[in-house]
């Protein structure tokens, strides 16, 4: 990876206890993240891809400090943030913002657009005067292509694409440097997805932003990402520059996903058929988590978990990546 790391995730596990009767002896646990390590360099559009349930949303929420890891550490700009008290976390919350999947649910229906946009400024910048807040809101609205007349209207008066534009403006309001975007276009019509993606790409360039972009859509990754991490059952299988990953995937899971692409109109994980069943995150397989579906699995794979290691300009978690080869 090139550039200075802005975000470092080191050996992060996240387990969620499943509610059961208090009489039950079993205490089932969902293993949402199982030892995730990665670095996001400044300026990257770092995509995390995987099927639903692979842990990508949990990873984004853990990086944002919305949930604490069960084990491992998360650092932001060389400061460990996974166990910071709320008052110390506040300064980081301004630098890190989030855009959610559902622009219908993430905007308060009782607030005008102007109030929605003012709110984060009033919270994080109490030093600003009313005039400064108004000027800043209007300048951000213009920069994302919003008509100033939108300010007096309510969220229900807008289409999904317009609402996501408002959500992006709200995230930009406090001049963040890092944005976690969790499936920001998957709830939108295909016809407006490109507009929202283009807006995200433009603001990244103009403001020098770093993104963690969570998606299940491989076509979004291909056009948007600079680096990509492929996740499966709470584990990172492969991290590579996007062009390298698409040209020559090295992990068997990535290879199976990408081999299906030419046959697909929409390159989504839901459309890809991988043989076998996805194991339950309540009881992930020992050794390599992909061994129950991998055509190359050996006894070693069933026994020992492969660590992420460097190979051919990327990181791969597979015992047999060299023998399997590229392409």
Output 184 or 252, the one with its CB closest to ligand SF4: 252
Of 160 and 285, the one with the shorter C-beta distance to ligand SF4 is 285
Q: Which is nearer to ligand SF4, 103 or 306 (CB)?
A: 306
Residues that bind ligand SF4 (CB under 6 A): 252, 288, 290-291, 294, 296-297, 301, 306, 318-320
**Closer by beta carbon to ligand SF4, 33 or else 308:** 308
Neighbour count for residue 33 (Cβ, 10 Å): 30
Residue 260 CB, shortest distance to ligand SF4, in Å, is 17
Distance separating alpha carbons of residues 122 and 157, to the nearest angstrom: 24
Q: How far is the CB of 278 from ligand SF4 (least distance, A)?
A: 15
| Least distance (Å) between residue 155 CB and ligand SF4 | 45
Report d(CA 186, CA 189) in Å as an integer. 8
Of 14 and 319, nearer to ligand SF4 (C-beta) is 319
Across the chain, where does the E strand assignment appear? 5-17, 29-41, 45-49, 71-76, 79-80, 96-99, 178-182, 210-215, 227-232, 235-241, 309-311, 314-316
| Burial classification of residue 19, based on how many CB atoms lie within 10 Å of its CB (0-12 exposed, 13-18 middle, 19 or more buried) | exposed
CB of 323 to ligand SF4, least distance (A): 9
- Least distance from ligand SF4 to the Cβ atom of residue 204, Å: 33
């Amino acid at each position: 990876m090139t550039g200075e790391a802005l975000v470092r995730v080191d050996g992060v596990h996240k387990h969620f206890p499943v509610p059961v009767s208090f009489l039950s002896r079993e205490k089932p646990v969902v293993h949402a993240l199982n030892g995730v390590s990665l670095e996001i360099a400044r300026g990257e559009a770092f995509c995390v891809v995987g099927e639903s349930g692979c842990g990508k949303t949990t990873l984004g929420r853990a990086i944002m400090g919305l949930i604490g890891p069960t084990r491992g550490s998360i650092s932001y700009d060389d400061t460990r943030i996974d166990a910071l008290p709320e008052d110390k976390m506040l300064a980081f919350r301004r630098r890190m913002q989030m855009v959610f999947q559902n622009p219908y649910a993430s905007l308060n229906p009782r607030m005008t657009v102007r109030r929605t946009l003012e709110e984060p400024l009033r919270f994080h910048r109490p030093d600003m005067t009313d005039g400064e807040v108004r000027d800043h809101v209007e300048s951000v609205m213009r920069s994302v292509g919003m008509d100033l007349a939108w300010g007096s209207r309510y969220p229900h008066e807008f289409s999904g694409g317009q609402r996501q534009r408002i959500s992006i403006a709200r995230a930009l309001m406090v001049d963040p440097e890092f944005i976690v975007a969790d499936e920001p276009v998957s709830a939108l019509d295909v016809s407006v997805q490109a507009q929202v993606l283009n807006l995200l790409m433009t603001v990244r360039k103009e403001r020098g932003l770093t993104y963690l972009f969570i998606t299940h859509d491989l076509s979004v990754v291909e056009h948007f990402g600079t680096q990509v991490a492929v996740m499966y059952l709470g584990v990172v299988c492969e991290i590579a520059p996007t062009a390298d990953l698409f040209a020559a995937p090295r992990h068997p899971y990535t290879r199976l996903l990408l081999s299906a692409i030419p046959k697909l109109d929409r390159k989504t994980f839901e459309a890809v058929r991988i043989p076998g069943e996805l194991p339950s995150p309540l009881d992930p397989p020992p050794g390599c988590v992909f061994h129950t579906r991998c055509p190359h699995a050996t006894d070693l794979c069933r026994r020992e978990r492969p660590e992420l290691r460097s190979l051919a300009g990327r990181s791969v978690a597979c015992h047999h990546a060299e023998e399997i080869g590229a392409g």
